[in-house]
Amino acid sequence: MTFLQTTEELAELLMSVLEDVPKVLKGNKTAAQRIRTKTVLLAKLAKVWRRESLDQEKKKAPRKKKEKKKRKV
Helices (H), 1-73: 3-25, 29-59
pLDDT band for 28, please (50, 70, 90 cuts).
very high
pTM: 0.70
pLDDT at position 1 is: 77
The percent of residues above 70 in pLDDT, for the chain, comes to: 92
Sign of CA dihedral 63, 66, 67, 68: negative
